[in-house]
A and B are shown apart, each in its own frame.
Chain A
Amino acid sequence: MVDTGARLLVVDDNKVNRLLLARNLEAQGHHVELAENGRVALAMLRASSFDLVLLDIEMPEMDGFQVLEELKTDAHLSDVPVIVTSAVEGVDNVVRCIELGAEDYLSKPVNPVLLKARIGAGLVKKQLRDQQRELVRRFATSAVADDMEHSGFALGGRHVRATVMFSDIRGFTSLVEAGTPDEIITLLNDYYVLMFDAIGGQGGVVNQMIGDGLMAVFGAPLALPDSDGAAVRAALDMIAMVHTFNIDRAAAGQATIQIGIGIATGDVIAGYTGTQQRATYTCIGDTVNRAARLEAHTKVAQRWILIDGAVRDALGDGFQITSLGEEMFKGKSEPVRVFSVDG
């Protein structure tokens, strides 16, 4: 339960009201701070964190409506639940408060039983929202979490130009057969930390992990200038990190690993797929298939990093690139220009 011991801010220009509300709330076990108008309240909210605000409407300097408007547009404060406590008359005023984001409206004189119930409900909702945000950040990337926070969650997609990367560990099956379960999980976790670091460091987003393989996107859900260059730089960082990782593993008498990376650029359909209950942010389309085929082709071509013609054409100078000609990949009607990035 979270309905006691919360930090509350009471905003009211009327001293008698402030005293009465504070008394009631303290009796319910909360810590209460007081502000005598909207301007003071906003300064206090920006200076330290509160679990909930009880807000009067009629106030000098800055009234409750103005406070609600300010809170709504402030990314750091828009989540603080606000319960309006007012003797302002007229349903339109109540509606205006709710439309401006107030959690609830209590008429003065405030009934203490109702006050307790509404504050309890407001705090529970806030706790659920905080937990939800924490969960989203744990299971989705921070880019996806930000996108969901700003645009809301909706199943459905949009066309975007993005660069897609696939990477996996070569010969992973034989590694699994040779190692203990703990060794394999530790290896994968260490490996993923390095890969996330390399990809995230260049603005990419890892959106799928399947066993030893991963898929990353550069340029969605947030646009990224030079997504091609970013993906290739990330791939080179990944190879360098695996090299260092292998030195440590070899010194410890452990098996080393090799990875292959395929990168393609083009139109993708990006969005949340799944059900309302369980969904994932993903990209689909020909570009994604091409990146997967290029990754698989690294074993045949005996190269670490393969890119398609679109990535090659978009890349600036500063990379060592070798043309490997055209390949007809399974399921493709058109041949794909294949290039190897060697440094």
Chain B
Amino acid sequence: MGPIDLAVLDELREQVGAEFTIELIDTFLEETPGILSDLRSAAGIADADGYRRAAHSLKANGAMFGAAAFASLARDAELSGVHTDPDVSRSLLDAIDAAYAAAATCLQGIDRG
């Protein structure tokens, strides 16, 4: 499976229409870099609440668009919480960034009718 489960996107389209799905995707693409940056900042200062909240948001948004790998990594971050060893956090954060980049490329390529 690619970075986006197209069946999930189809379901969303069916639910709210193609045009609004594009609007949601655009909002996701606008909002996510900020949340990824919040996650990294929270990891840097060991802000457990901020880290969990940012990871939680990424997980929910990822699941909505069928970005399964991205959502799953965000879930790992949410459940494991901020790590005292910055290297552990960094490798997870890098993986989340990469998964997002792949999902975003795929979503940007969606037919906009």
> Among residues 85 to 136 in chain A, which have CB atoms less than 8 Å away from a CB atom of chain B?
87-89, 108-109, 112
Check if B64 is an interface residue, CB within 8 A of chain A.
yes
Check if A7 is an interface residue, CB within 8 A of chain B.
no
Contact B57 A58 (CB under 8 A): yes
B31: A residues at CB distance < 8 A: 14-16
A160 to chain B, nearest CB (A): 50
Q: Which of A19, A58, A108 contacts B24 (CB 8 A)?
A: A19
> Among residues 144 to 202 in chain A, which have CB atoms less than 8 Å away from a CB atom of chain B?
none
Contact B15 A112 (CB under 8 A): yes
**Nearest CB to that of A88 among chain B residues?**
B56
B60: A residues at CB distance < 8 A: 14, 17, 87, 108-109
A14: B residues at CB distance < 8 A: 31, 57, 60-61
B73 to chain A, nearest CB (A): 15
Task: Count residues on chain A whose CB falls below 8 Å from chain B CBs.
Answer: 19
Contact B24 A20 (CB under 8 A): yes
Check if A343 is an interface residue, CB within 8 A of chain B.
no
Check if B27 is an interface residue, CB within 8 A of chain A.
yes
B61 to chain A, nearest CB (A): 5
B53: A residues at CB distance < 8 A: 13, 58-60
Contact A15 B63 (CB under 8 A): no
Contact A20 B16 (CB under 8 A): yes
A130 to chain B, nearest CB (A): 32
Contact A13 B15 (CB under 8 A): no
A137: B residues at CB distance < 8 A: none
Per the bound structure, the CA–CA distance linking A109 and B78 in Å amounts to 17
Contact B57 A24 (CB under 8 A): no
Task: Count residues on chain B whose CB falls below 8 Å from chain A CBs.
Answer: 20
Check if B52 is an interface residue, CB within 8 A of chain A.
yes
A87: B residues at CB distance < 8 A: 56, 59-60, 63
Per the bound structure, the CA–CA distance linking A13 and B16 in Å amounts to 21
Q: Which of B15, B59, B61, B63 contacts A24 (CB 8 A)?
A: B15
Contact B20 A23 (CB under 8 A): yes
Q: Which of B15, B16, B27, B59 contacts A15 (CB 8 A)?
A: B27
> Among residues 18 to 56 in chain B, which have CB atoms less than 8 Å away from a CB atom of chain A?
20, 23-24, 27-28, 31, 50, 52-53, 56
Per the bound structure, the CA–CA distance linking A8 and B20 in Å amounts to 21
B15: A residues at CB distance < 8 A: 24, 112
A112: B residues at CB distance < 8 A: 15
Per the bound structure, the CA–CA distance linking A6 and B15 in Å amounts to 21
A89: B residues at CB distance < 8 A: 78-79
A24: B residues at CB distance < 8 A: 15-16
Q: Which of B27, B50, B59, B79 contacts A16 (CB 8 A)?
A: B27
A97 to chain B, nearest CB (A): 15
Contact B63 A108 (CB under 8 A): yes
**Nearest CB to that of A89 among chain B residues?**
B79
B9 to chain A, nearest CB (A): 12
Contact B63 A23 (CB under 8 A): no
Q: Which of A23, A58, A59, A109 contacts B64 (CB 8 A)?
A: A109
Task: Report A247-267 CB contacts with B as 1/0, cut-off 8 Å.
Answer: 000000000000000000000
**Nearest CB to that of B71 among chain A residues?**
A87
> Among residues 1 to 45 in chain A, which have CB atoms less than 8 Å away from a CB atom of chain B?
13-17, 19-20, 23-24, 27
List 24 A–B pairs whose Cβ atoms lie within 8 Å, in order of A's numbering. Answer: A16-B27, A16-B61, A17-B60, A17-B61, A17-B64, A19-B23, A19-B24, A19-B27, A20-B16, A20-B64, A23-B20, A27-B16, A58-B52, A58-B53, A58-B56, A58-B57, A60-B50, A87-B56, A87-B59, A88-B56, A89-B78, A108-B63, A109-B60, A109-B63
B→A interface (CB under 8 Å):
15-16, 20, 23-24, 27-28, 31, 50, 52-53, 56-57, 59-61, 63-64, 78-79
Contacts A16-B64, A108-B60, A109-B64 known; list 8 others, CB within 8 Å: A16-B31, A19-B27, A20-B16, A27-B16, A58-B56, A60-B50, A87-B63, A108-B63
